[in-house]
Amino acid sequence: MSTPLEASSSEQVDDVSSSVSLAKQIRRLWQGDTGLGPILIGLLVLIIYFEARTSVFLSAGNITNLFIQATIFILLGMAEIWLLLMGDIDLSIGYSAGIGGAVAVILTSTQHDWSWFIALPLGVLACVLISVVWGTIVIRLRLPSFIVTLAGQIGLLGVLLYLINSQGNTGGSLPVQEKVLYDLVNGDLSPVATWVVIVASVVLLGWIILRSDQRRRSAGLEAKPMWLSFAKVIALAAAGVLLAIIFNTNRSSFTFLNGMPFAIPIDLGVLAAGTFILTKTRAGRYIYAIGGNVEAARRAGINVNRYRLLAFVFSGFTTGIAGLLYVSRLNGISTGIEGGTYVLYAVAAGVIGGTSLFGGRGKMIHAVVGGLVIATIYNGMALINVSAAGLYMVTALVLLAAVVVDAIARRSNSSSTN
């Protein structure tokens, strides 16, 4: 009864009868088969718009660039979704990622010269530890994660400045001096490896889809029609082939540059691991349960504190990966990192994709779609020379729209229960 989590999840919204039918329709649309229909259509509209405005938009080089831009939003978005699912939030992950990245940069610098093999995991570990500290404070002292991590945001910026300045007179930034760290984003798979990754992903995913249908059918349970599953797999394969072709097209005007950037299989791996944990394991089930009704979870015998902390750990891990890719992309870490802004985009990516701010509803894939939407807006608006002012306002509108839909969906949920 005392956690903010409970308060927000049991809060009732009365008297929405007038908006119920509209709300129900929106929810049905929103939560359809994958829940992604509307936002994918929105993304398509954005793409068509930008392509109509400038033909550069759909060039191989720009699409690849867009994926790389999206990576940081996607990874931080996934880090945030672990917590959003429980009705929690971490406002400090932008700076936490910066610290993780800084640890990797510093340890692999020519001065310290640690192997990437040790330094990169230590960077990730730093982020996990930070999340564990926040999680422990939030859970043990029963404080709102919002407040704890707001304080944390400021504190971590201080830690980051300290780390960077501790390396001598650096002028406020440290460059990446190690090849593996540099290549995380700037390196590419060979064209053959690109095909291998894509074909393997499509085959694996297709096999999972068809086999789970098959198992349901042979157990005598109703399953989706066979053609629908095949259609899904074919669409997946088509998208995969298209991406492979795009990545394998030369995207440099002076030298030759092609292949899938390493960042993409990293994103895919984190997505697959997160999705697996959330949908196929007890831990995932309990995270949803805690976000839905913490008291019910407790009475079902679930060790709520343990699983809340575990979600913080997963969040920290994902933040750490994001931090490594961040420093790789910027080829260094500077005291000017906009950690606060990144957090907002991370939350926005999740919510735009369809994850609820109120806990209990969301998926890892939401961060991918939401992150792509944000990157598309960024990328497209820069191409058509919209000012930063316009960019911020449009992003805000998209986020606001996503939050409104989220709130309406939630309202209709709770009104249908009483």
Partner 1 sequence: MTLTPEPPTSGVSEAGYTTGGSGVGVIDKEQLLSLRGIAKSFGPVQALKRVDLDVPPAQVTALIGDNGAGKSVLIKTISGIYPASAGQIFWKGREVHPHTPRDSSELGIATVYQDLALCDNLDIVQNMYLGREETRFTQLDEIKMELATKELLKDLAVSTVKSVRQLVGSLSGGQRQAIAVARAVMRDSELVIMDEPTAALGVSQTAQVLELVRTLASRGIAVILISHNLNDVFKVADRIAVMHLGTLVSHGPIANYDVASAVEMITTGASSRVPTNSPNGD
Q: Which of 45, 192, 300, 404 binds partner 1 (CB under 8 A)?
A: 300
Residues pairing with 58 in the sheet = none
Q: Which of 18, 252, 385, 418 binds partner 1 (CB under 8 A)?
A: 418
Tell me: does residue 417 bind partner 1 (CB under 8 A). yes
What single string gives the DSSP state of each residue in 127-192?
A: HHHHHHHHHHHHHHTT--HHHHHHHHHHHHHHHHHHHHHTTSS-TTEEE---HHHHHHHH-B--HH
Residues pairing with 334 in the sheet = 173
Only segment of 102-110, 113-121, 182-190, 408-416 that touches partner 1 (CB under 8 A): 408-416
If the CB atoms of residues 10 and 115 are measured against partner 1, the closer one turns out to be 10
Tell me: does residue 291 bind partner 1 (CB under 8 A). yes
Only segment of 185-193, 226-234, 283-291, 396-404 that touches partner 1 (CB under 8 A): 283-291
Q: How far apart are the first and last CA of the chain?
A: 20
Tell me: does residue 211 bind partner 1 (CB under 8 A). no
Nearest to 366 by CA among 247, 236, 274: 274
Q: How far is the CB of 293 from partner 1 (least distance, A)?
A: 5
Tell me: does residue 21 bind partner 1 (CB under 8 A). no
Determine if residue 355 is left, alpha or beta; phi over 0 gives left, psi from -120 to 50 gives alpha, anything else beta: beta
Tell me: does residue 208 bind partner 1 (CB under 8 A). no
Percent of the chain as helix, strand, coil, to the nearest 5: 75, 0, 25
If the CB atoms of residues 12 and 169 are measured against partner 1, the closer one turns out to be 12
Only segment of 66-74, 75-83, 212-220, 312-320 that touches partner 1 (CB under 8 A): 212-220
If the CB atoms of residues 112 and 215 are measured against partner 1, the closer one turns out to be 215
Angle between the N-to-C axes of helices 60-84 and 93-108, in degrees from 0 to 180, rounded to the nearest 10: 120
Tell me: does residue 332 bind partner 1 (CB under 8 A). no
Cα(314)–Cα(322) distance, integer angstroms = 12
**How many residues of this chain interact with partner 1, rule: CB under 8 A?**
30
Nearest to 298 by CA among 90, 137, 89, 139: 139
Q: How far is the CB of 31 from partner 1 (least distance, A)?
A: 9
Given the structure tokens 């959003």, which residue do they identify?
84
Tell me: does residue 206 bind partner 1 (CB under 8 A). no
Measured CA angle at 376 (ends 373, 377), to 5 deg:
90
Tell me: does residue 297 bind partner 1 (CB under 8 A). yes
Q: What would the x/- binding string for partner 1 be over residues 343 to 362, using CB under 8 A?
A: -----------------xx-
If the CB atoms of residues 112 and 280 are measured against partner 1, the closer one turns out to be 280
Tell me: does residue 166 bind partner 1 (CB under 8 A). no
What DSSP designation does 261 have? B
Tell me: does residue 7 bind partner 1 (CB under 8 A). no
H helices of 169-281, in order, are 179-186, 191-218, 226-247, 263-280
Contact 129, 316 (CB under 8 A): yes
Tell me: does residue 336 bind partner 1 (CB under 8 A). no
Nearest to 362 by CA among 410, 304, 302: 410
Q: Which of 167, 249, 293, 335 binds partner 1 (CB under 8 A)?
A: 293
Tell me: does residue 316 bind partner 1 (CB under 8 A). no
Q: What would the x/- binding string for partner 1 be over residues 217 to 236, using CB under 8 A?
A: --xxxx--------------
What single string gives the DSSP state of each residue in 13-30?
A: ----HHHHHHHHHHHHHH
Q: Which of 62, 69, 319, 413 binds partner 1 (CB under 8 A)?
A: 413
If the CB atoms of residues 67 and 307 are measured against partner 1, the closer one turns out to be 307
What single string gives the DSSP state of each residue in 275-302?
A: HHHHHHSHHHHHHHHHHH-HHHHHHTT-
Contacts with partner 1, residue ranges (CB under 8 A): 215-216, 219-222, 279-282, 285, 288-289, 291-293, 295-297, 299-302, 360-361, 413-414, 416-418
